[in-house]
Structure 1
Amino acid sequence: MFYLGIDVAKAKLDCCLLLDEASDKHKTKVVKNTPSGIIDLLAWVAKQNVSPEALHIVMEATGVYHEQAAMALADAGVMVSIINPAQIKDFGRGLAVRTKTDGVDSVVLARYGALLKPKAWVPPPQEARVLQALLVRREAIAQDLQRERNRQEKAHATDTPALIHKSLEESIGFLVKQLAQLQKDIDAHIDQHSNLQKDRALLQSIPVIGPQVGSNILSVIHNHDFGSAEQLAAYLGLVPVERQSGSSVQRLLARGKSKMSSLGAAMRKLVYLCFGVLKTQQPYQHDYLKNV
């Protein structure tokens, strides 16, 4: 197996192909972060006498910029692993790597793959990708709508020309229609796929989970491979990190940390319930403990 590290940026992919694990012999290549760039990368790898089946690519999860490359490479039959950037940073420290450049990062990623042999990333199914895209769009429209309403509120509080009021009203009306249509599209998409429809119904069997929260949790779980409820909670940023150095404890208590801790615990419990109903494919039972 040959290991190739890819440092992902918006416009380019810095690649390092590790040719010999023992000697650290490697070759590097920079390609565009586009479909044609992926074709160029695979052609370059082939020139090194490495077939797609013998290639293991390791890249960081870099916002949305890694997704297109990861999908294209997986579709080409290449084993792809997507790693949390924090893990790569710690690994680089362990190798005493102090320089931070795209080229160096790709070398570290290749060596990470060779040494730790991370598990393969499983691309989400098409229906999950479409759901995620629809939800991202809905969120963007909702934010635009809120901004326009804020502008309208300020316009009513100031001496604003009538033409501006008219423009704001038209813009808000358009965005409200867009938001309603997107919600219809989301519901229709879920209804068209029995697995999504069934899982959203299971999520909504939990009393506090409504259609919108249910759709968002549904998308997160169907677009990622979580092995446990704790992994899901960590992804959502709900796993606490204990810090008790210096005067930090006093400051946290002064800011009402106990209340926040309680809220965090409740949110983690809810995430565990969501993971549980989908894992067992059984609806929520409020009297579960009484029946045990």
Structure 2
Amino acid sequence: MLTAEADKRKTKVVVNTAAGVQALLAWCAKHGAQPAQLHAILEPTGLYHEQAATALPQVRVSLVNPAQARDFAKALALRSKNDALDSYVLARYGQTLSPALWHPAPLHARQLRALLTRREALSKDLLRELNRKEKSQFSPSAPLVDGSIDKAIAFLREQIKQIERAIDQHIDNHPDLKQDCELLNSIPAIGPQAGNAILAVMHNRHIDSAQSLAAYLGVVPVQRQSGSSLNSCARLSKAGPSQVRATLYMAALVGTRHNPHIRALYQRLLKAGKSKKAALGAAMRKLVHLCFGVLKNRIPYQPNYAMNG
């Protein structure tokens, strides 16, 4: 805990449970800080931060990107790293920069995200079992092993079907999700997987511009240049969720053939001498902008709108 003047610093270790959060609030109150006076700065770690964040209804909460926290620590000339020091860095970050407040996504949006995450996990498990099945054909294996693999494959395929049905039903049951899904699917190259992935991102995060969405998904170019000694080619930042980016990559490939805007941009960049990799990265970014555009304007995709590539 750091006072607003940053002149008093206290630490308390609690477990990441609802009871632990209540113990922390009681400790803060003991030191004269009531919930309404607190501004909690958290570093998101997967989904583990959500329990603490949602257990602080009367406390202002902000989430700080781990990379930004590390850079801020370097700016403070802090070289060591431990839990106490990390908490101090986050407190100083909040005291100095006053980051935007975090608000939990609606329950149905978080449930959609959970369903998509589960489908992704099951798909990865299925791919592993299929690889084991393929390897077993090139090496003698016990019948029990072959049978176990076959049962696992059948089970995972059925589980994926159930999850996909649940995803479709969940979207149909919530008008805001259904309307946005229809808008996204109106874009050529945006199929169910890419559309649902973008849908989950937009409904679980506060994103107010196409540029912010592209930056979050890691499809903006970054360049390292300094004088004549450092001048690397611009590359995608590849920040944010890699699975969504992989889905966008496949969608962009389809878009270079079937989406008028994506195809025009891709061909124009190739004619300008850009590599296929760079042109495809730009196509991914354009696709993200199209997704944000239909959601913001509440109008389905228009093939002839501003056809300038």
TM-score, scaled relative to structure 2? 0.82
Range with greater deviation from structure 2 (52-61 or 126-135): 52-61
Range with greater deviation from structure 2 (87-96 or 97-106): 87-96
Match of 2:155 in 1: 174
Which of the numbers 123, 126, 129 marks the counterpart of 1:148? 129
**What's the CA shift for 1:93?**
2.0
Q: Aligned partner of 1:67: which letter? A: E
Whole-angstrom CA distance in 2 between matches of 1:220 and 1:242:
26
Match of 1:21 in 2: 5
Match of 1:119 in 2: 100
Whole-angstrom CA distance in 2 between matches of 1:88 and 1:154:
44
**SS in structure 2 of the partner of residue 32 of structure 1:** coil
Match of 2:212 in 1: 231
Whole-angstrom CA distance in 2 between matches of 1:210 and 1:96:
47
Q: Please give the per-residue CA displacement for 1:187-223, whole angstroms capped at 9, x wherever unaligned.
A: 1111110000000111001011111111111001111
Match of 2:287 in 1: 270
Match of 1:64 in 2: 47
Whole-angstrom CA distance in 2 between matches of 1:175 and 1:46:
50
Higher strand share: 1
Identity of aligned residues (%): 55
Whole-angstrom CA distance in 2 between matches of 1:204 and 1:20:
48
Which of the numbers 20, 25, 44 marks the counterpart of 2:27? 44
Match of 1:3 in 2: none
**What's the CA shift for 1:224?**
0.6
Q: Aligned partner of 2:134: which letter? A: E
Is the counterpart of residue 259 in structure 1 residue 276 in structure 2? yes
**SS in structure 1 of the partner of residue 2 of structure 2:** strand
Q: Please give the per-residue CA displacement for 1:90-129, whole angstroms capped at 9, x wherever unaligned.
A: 2222222222111111111111111211111111000010
Report the number of matched residues.
267
Whole-angstrom CA distance in 2 between matches of 1:214 and 1:109:
35
- In structure 2, relative to structure 1, the CA distance for the partners of 1:20 and 1:122 (3 Å cut) is closer
**What's the CA shift for 1:244?**
4.6
TM-score, scaled relative to structure 1? 0.86
Whole-angstrom CA distance in 2 between matches of 1:77 and 1:202:
36
After superposing on structure 2, the runs of 4+ consecutive aligned residues of structure 1 that deviate more than 6 Å are none
Where do 1:66-85 residues align within 5 Å? 66-73=49-56, 76-85=57-66
**What's the CA shift for 1:47?**
1.3
8 Å contact from structure 1 (residues 20, 26) kept in 2:
no
Whole-angstrom CA distance in 1 between matches of 2:36 and 2:275:
52
Q: Please give the per-residue CA displacement for 1:21-69, whole angstroms capped at 9, x wherever unaligned.
A: 15x2121101001121111111111212222111111111222221221
Whole-angstrom CA distance in 1 between matches of 2:52 and 2:191:
34
Q: Aligned partner of 1:281: which letter? A: R
**Gap regions ≥5 residues in structure 1:** 1-16
Q: Please give the per-residue CA displacement for 1:129-176, whole angstroms capped at 9, x wherever unaligned.
A: 000111111101011011001000111122122222221111111110
8 Å contact from structure 2 (residues 4, 95) kept in 1:
no
